[in-house]
Chain A
Amino acid sequence: DVKVTQSSRYLVKRTGEKVFLECVQDMDHENMFWYRQDPGLGLRLIYFSYDVKMKEKGDIPEGYSVSREKKERFSLILESASTNQTSMYLCASHTQGNNSPLHFGNGTRLTVT
Chain B
Amino acid sequence: GDSVTQMEGPVTLSEEAFLTINCTYTATGYPSLFWYVQYPGEGLQLLLKATKADDKGSNKGFEATYRKETTSFHLEKGSVQVSDSAVYFCALSGDTNAGKSTFGDGTTLTVKP
Please measure, in the bound complex, the distance between the C-alpha atom of A102 and the C-alpha atom of B35, giving whole angstroms. Answer: 11
Contacting B42 at CB < 8 Å: which of A97, A98, A107? A107
Judge whether B61 is part of the interface by a CB distance below 8 angstroms: no
Judge whether A11 is part of the interface by a CB distance below 8 angstroms: no
Judge whether B82 is part of the interface by a CB distance below 8 angstroms: no
Chain B: minimal CB distance from A74 (Å): 14
A-B pairs with beta carbons under 8 Å apart, 22 shown: A4-B43, A33-B101, A42-B105, A43-B103, A58-B100, A92-B43, A94-B99, A98-B32, A99-B49, A99-B93, A100-B93, A101-B36, A101-B46, A102-B44, A102-B91, A102-B101, A103-B46, A104-B44, A104-B45, A106-B42, A106-B43, A107-B43
Please measure, in the bound complex, the distance between the C-alpha atom of A43 and the C-alpha atom of B44, giving whole angstroms. Answer: 10
Please measure, in the bound complex, the distance between the C-alpha atom of A58 and the C-alpha atom of B105, giving whole angstroms. Answer: 17
Contacts of B42 in A (CB 8 A): 106-107
Closest residue on chain B to residue A104 by CB atoms: B43
Q: Are A97 and B100 in contact (CB under 8 A)?
A: no
Given contacts A98-B95, A99-B51, A101-B34, contact A42 B103 (CB under 8 A): yes
Contacting B99 at CB < 8 Å: which of A43, A97, A104, A106? A97
Interface string of B14-46 (1 = CB under 8 A from A): 000000000000000001101010000111111
Judge whether B89 is part of the interface by a CB distance below 8 angstroms: yes
